[in-house]
Amino acid sequence: MTTTQDEAQIVVNPWLARTAVIEAIRPEIEAVATFRLKFTDSLLAEQYRFRPGQFNMLYVPGCGESAISLSGSPTLNGHHLVHTIRFVGRVTEAISNLRVGDRVGVRGPFGSAWPIDCCKGRDVIIIAGGIGLAPLRPAIYSFMENRSDFGRIVLLYGARSPELLLYADELDSWRAGGIEVQLTVDQADDSWQGAVGVVPLILDRLAGLKPDQTEVMMCGPEVMMHYCAQSAMKRNIPKRSIGLSIERNMQCAVGLCGHCQLGSVFVCRQGPVFRYDAIESLLRVRDF
Amino acid sequence: MIGDVYFLERSKLQAVLDELAGAEYELIGPRVDQEAIVYDRIERVEDLPQGWTDEQSPGHYRLKRSEDEALFSYVIGPHSWKKYLFPPLVNVMSSRREADGWTMKDELIEPKRFALIGVRACELAAIAVQDRVFNSDAYVDPVYAKRRENLFIVAVNCTQAAATCFCTSMGTGPRCSSGFDLALTELPEGFVVEVGSSAGQELVRGLGLGQATELNLQVAESRRQIAVTQITRKLDTDGLRDKLLSRLEHPQWDNVAERCLSCANCTMVCPTCFCSSVDDVTDLTNDEVVRQRRWDSCFNFDFSHISGGPVRYQTRSRYRQWLTHKLATWIDQFGTSGCVGCGRCITWCPVGIDMTQEVAAICSDVERS
């Protein structure tokens, strides 16, 4: 009898991480690698699903947690728990020391997703800066999987230098899958044949743009996204058709801890993917 | 019945405490500690701060002997009841290193049942605010929800106010109107007891209390009125949300940032502030790890830290975040202001920053956009 009562009172513990084992590690660019994980609980491994743009909290015991976007395929079995991680802080540096077979904790998925369904029958401009390509890759996979559902799809991707272009060896398969890929770097080397300069400049010059039929998705440094939004609007793309993913400190990921607030928004819940017109005024205020 | 009013002789207050203790509540009430009135475990009426009152102003708090031997003739101290519903430190999960790697488990435990003795009107309002934050959405905080579910509240109406009080501006007091099981108004010879719930009714029935007399009610009302007239501090809440959010670059933010120490005292004493962080605590071998949630504050430098550094790297932006959240964006998030007008942030600010004055300075220039 007591047991029944206790069971009825169980409330989900939002801070409880579940163990996952590292199945593969793929070095990408400098200080960035992609980890493929699998939940040790086979039922959880079977049932886990996410939508492009969402994130997990990855946990290294003794070190802490970090919010990391999902960067694998949302539909390919065994490839749901894929994270491309830049080793930049305490937790991610601890992750960089882990090996295949080691375990981490995972909570998720959390947050909002890229509006893939809204893109059906429309053109899409995907804009990424640096590591910002990682949370967009699941969207790219989704587009390629049902390529005929969408119009023209363009990826505008910028990095500081050619050797810092993420997923460089995949770009050809994306081109083959019907994605126009345009690259730019801040600083070229002798071998670089592509554009030089910041991402908004290639958006300014993008030919054949149909503003009424276009959705924009962007992720990268806030300053890049700001100027890309300005450029898109200059080219008559409406604000409501511009989506962006932003970064804030996350601890609980369920709107209880307060860290990720941006004005009245909890980025972990209403975000990280927003419509530009929903947060434009907030992004304009310096260090708000 | 709910709304019935009884009279409790002072000599019978211990019986109320005993009844609650007998029903397996842990009693929490006011007591004097380190020259302040704090909330802590109590067992007997003698534990209460009989004959003590407090004197408060910006950056100032002193305990003083009161003119009478009343038990509740103080206003409020640095503690709020949130420490029992939203504990300052709580274990949430743990990990253990085993042969094939880490295993992880839930650490949330069945909390004690608390009976809170001496909850003021502004504090009832603060609990109602935190109910919305932690306990009324798709994401419920199980730590809070469990503690809240088993709570018994004995409220006490204020019969005096501090210079820092402004509950009348926030519409939260000084009269306790709902959210309690019993509400007391202290008279020299005892208490007028208002019943606010069936649990409260049951407790009163067990004690065999008589109805309050007309005279009891008149005296109680006149004593409550003293608190109303003593509250002189004001916060103009008319259109406050829009005024603050349209003045995010007002020069007063720089002015207050020159005085603010970013010490986080205001957020620690605030009965509604809810920010927290989770830290790992390990044993010496690093094989046993507990994750502990602790109170955090938007005034801490690394609170907003992201890969490029803290978003709010200046005191100006952190004070602005606290004030605009408390009084403006909180309304968007939870349908209520985050401020209940208790004045703790004013009293316990080490440099005496008075948020009502800061708001007045920011909002006075109505033409500004």
Residue A11 is predicted with a pLDDT of 61
Give the residue on B whose Cα is nearest the Cα of A88: B307
CB of A215 closer than 8 Å to CB of A276: no
Residues of chain B found within 8 Å of residue A286, distances taken between Cβ atoms: 317
Contact B94, B289 (CB under 8 A): yes
Chain B contacts of A259, Cβ < 8 Å?
275, 277, 296, 303-304
B307 contacts A12? CB cut-off 8 A: no
The amino acid sitting at A230 is: Q
Query: Does the distance separating the beta carbons of B307 and A257 come in below 8 Å?
Result: no
pLDDT at B137: 76
Out of A104, A221, A257, name the one closest to residue B275 (CB).
Answer: A257
CB contact under 8 A, A16 and B134: no
**Chain A residues whose beta carbon lies within 8 Å of the beta carbon of residue B270:** none
Minimal-distance CA residue of chain B relative to A10 = B142
pLDDT tens-digit readout, B105-116: 999 999 999 999
Mutate to test the interface with B, among A9, A11, A60, A91 (most CBs of B within 10 A): A11
A161, amino acid identity: S
Residue in B275, B298, B311 nearest the CB of A287: B311
The token pair that represents B338 in the structure block = 């985050």
| Secondary structure letter of residue A206 according to DSSP | -
Q: Residues B321, B298: contact at Cβ < 8 Å? A: yes
Digit-by-digit pLDDT tens for chain B (369 residues) are 888 999 999 999 999 999 999 999 999 999 999 999 999 999 999 999 999 999 999 999 999 999 899 999 999 999 999 999 999 999 999 999 999 999 999 999 999 999 999 999 999 999 999 999 999 877 899 999 999 999 999 999 999 999 999 999 999 999 999 999 999 999 999 999 999 999 999 999 989 899 999 999 999 999 999 999 999 999 999 999 999 999 999 999 999 999 999 999 999 999 999 999 999 999 999 999 999 999 999 999 999 998 888 999 999 999 999 999 999 999 999 999 999 999 999 999 999 999 999 999 999 865 444
CB spacing of B141 vs A18 below 8 angstroms: no
CA distance A275 to chain B (A): 18
ipTM of predicted complex: 0.91
CA B51 centroid distance within chain: 23
Residues of A in contact with B329 (CB under 8 A): 261, 263-264
Residues of A with CB under 8 A from a CB of B: 9, 11-19, 21, 61-65, 86, 88-89, 101-105, 221, 247-249, 251-252, 254-259, 261, 263-264, 266, 269, 285-288
Residue A251 to residue B278, Cβ atoms within 8 A: yes
Give A17's contacts in chain B (Cβ within 8 Å). 93, 104
Q: Are B37 and B45 in contact (CB under 8 A)?
A: no
In angstroms, the separation between the Cα of residue B241 and the nearest Cα of chain A is: 11
For residue B277, list chain A residues with Cβ-Cβ distance below 8 A.
251, 257, 259
Q: Nearest chain A Cα to B330, which residue?
A: A264
Per DSSP, the three-state class of A55 is: strand
pLDDT of residue A9: 40
- A80-130 confidence digits (pLDDT tens): 899 999 999 999 999 999 999 999 999 999 999 999 999 999 999 999 999
Best residue in B290, B307, B334 to probe A by mutation, most A CBs within 10 Å?
A: B307
Considering only CB atoms, B280 lies closest to which of A19, A63, A259, namely A63
Instruction: State the pTM of this model.
Output: 0.94
Tell me how close the Cα of B328 comes to any Cα of chain A, in angstroms.
8
Q: From first to last of the 288 residues of chain A, give the pLDDT tens digit.
A: 333 334 334 468 999 999 999 999 999 999 999 999 999 999 999 999 999 999 999 999 999 999 999 999 999 877 889 999 999 999 999 999 999 999 999 999 999 999 999 999 999 999 999 999 999 999 999 999 999 999 999 999 999 999 999 999 999 999 999 999 999 999 999 999 889 999 999 999 999 999 999 999 999 999 999 999 999 999 999 999 999 999 999 999 999 999 999 999 999 999 999 999 999 998 888 888
Least CB–CB distance from B93: residue in A13, A104, A286: A13
User: How many CA atoms, within 13 angstroms, populate the side-chain half-sphere of residue A94?
Assistant: 15
B-chain CB neighbours of A88 within 8 Å are: 307
Q: Look at residue A67 and give its three-state secondary structure.
A: strand
Which of A60, A249, A260 to mutate: most B Cβ within 10 Å? A249
**Beta-ladder partners of A105:** A19, A59
Chain A neighbors of B279, CB-CB under 8 A = 64
Closest Cβ opposite residue A19 in set B103, B108, B141: B103
In the block, tokens 């957020």 appear at B267
Residue A87 has φ and ψ, to the nearest 5°, of -85, 95
Question: Residues B237, B337: contact at Cβ < 8 Å?
Answer: yes
Please give, one letter per residue, the 3-state secondary structure of chain B: CCCCEEEEEHHHHHHHHHHHHHCCCEEEEEEEECCEEEEEECCCHHHCCCCEEEEEECCEEEEEECCCCCCCCCCCCCCCCHHHHCCCEEEEEEEEEECCEEEEEECCCCCCCEEEEEECHHHHHHHHHHHHHHCCCCCCCHHHHHHHHCCEEEEECCCCCCCCCCHHHHCCCCCCCCCCCEEEEEECCEEEEEECCHHHHHHHHHHCCEECCHHHHHHHHHHHHHHHHHCCCCCCCCCHHHHHHCCCCCCHHHHHHHHCCCCCHHHHHCCCCCCEEEEEEECCCCCEEEEEEEECCCCCHHHHEECCEECCCCHHHHHHHHHHHHHHHHHHHHCCCCCCCCCHHHHCCCCCCCHHHHHHHHHCCCCCC
pLDDT of residue B366: 53
